Amino acid sequence: METKRKALGKGLEQLFSNESFTFNDFEKTIVEDTSKDDVKEINLDDLRSNPYQPRKVFDDEKLEELTNSILEFGVIEPIIVKKSTIKGYEIVAGERRTLAARRAGLKTIPAIIRDFTDDEMMTIALLENIQRENLNIIEEAMAYKNMIESMHLTQDELAKKLGKSRSHVTNILGILKLPKKVQDMVLNDKISMGHARALSKLNDEIQIFDMANKIVKENMSVRALEDEINNNGFEKKVTIKRQNIKDKNHLVVQNVMREKIGTMVKVNNRNIVIPFDNDKDLERILEILDIKINLD
């Protein structure tokens, strides 16, 4: 392990701990610790995407700008790759540069070859996209979920690693409670993160989908959506169909708990129901509620 860390470059242990570490620092460290002789020209046909790349949709306009820059100046900063266990190389950092280089008609691209574990590749891909160009909210949520599950992190540990607040991580993960069709609308920028967060507080999938279509059709603002969700007429409809909550105070408590815990809490009939997906999700909820129980 020690030999490997020296090959990676000084200080990279911090990236893969639970401390905050920026992608720019990571890439700068790799580049500075690499001599010009160690930068190789790799055939673009030998490159495969990072299997943990969270970005599913690339901004075509920004990609075109990068392509034009490469046509004029070439690829200024090498990408970072690792040898694939199958064939060729996997991109660790530099997915957009690789796509733009292909668009520019290049056959090869300068690259630094290093060795990384799967967990490290996942962390690097997420950091690059979050810190250099914002991920779509669904892409970010899926990346958070994958990191928590594969690296056995708590939400608090993930938040520290990414330099985010725990409430931010909780809210982002809550978006994954939305129906798949609505998630696709967010993924394709038809509705915004603010819209998605407001919709994630609802339970009834038909209502969520109807409201999502209304957002697109009427170009509804987030404030207008929140007003419609919170006005008396809509609340009465939700009450009858979904929750039978007669006491408005219970509804307030329910919404506050949903916001804090990031799951569809129900408050009715003198009961508080907090659903969870699995043991890891249960541990997350207990942590938020500051309840310490040894579940082993």
Q: How far apart are alpha carbons 158 and 172 in whole angstroms?
A: 12
pLDDT for residue 235: 41
Regions of the chain with pLDDT less than 50: 1-11, 18, 232-245
* Residue 158 in tokens: 């993930």
CB-based contact 131:24 (threshold 8 Å): yes
Are 97 and 66 a contacting pair, CB within 8 Å?
Answer: yes
Instruction: Using alpha carbons, select from 258, 185, 244, 175 the residue that is nearest to residue 220.
Output: 185
> Which residues contact residue 122 at a Cβ distance below 8 angstroms, ignoring those fewer than 6 apart?
52, 143, 146, 147, 150, 151
- What per-residue string of b and e applies to 182-197 under the rule 16 or more CB within 10 Å gives b? bbebbbeeebebebbb
Alpha-carbon distance 213 to 238, whole Å? 18
The pLDDT score that the predictor gives to residue 6 is 41
Q: Token pair of 164, please?
A: 């985010």
pLDDT (0 to 100) of residue 43: 95
Q: What is the pLDDT of residue 14?
A: 53
Contact 41, 110 (CB under 8 A): yes
Residues forming the active site? 95
Q: Which fold has domain 2-136?
A: 3.90.1530
pTM over 0.85: no
Supply the pLDDT for residue 233: 40
| Domain segments of the chain as ranges | 2-136, 181-238, 244-296
Q: Give me the phi and psi of 41, to 5 degrees please.
A: -85, 115
Instruction: Check: CB of residue 106 under 8 Å from CB of residue 36.
Output: no
The 10s digit of each residue's pLDDT in 218-262 is 999 988 888 888 773 444 334 434 444 456 677 778 777 877 787
Cα(275)–Cα(295) distance, integer angstroms: 17
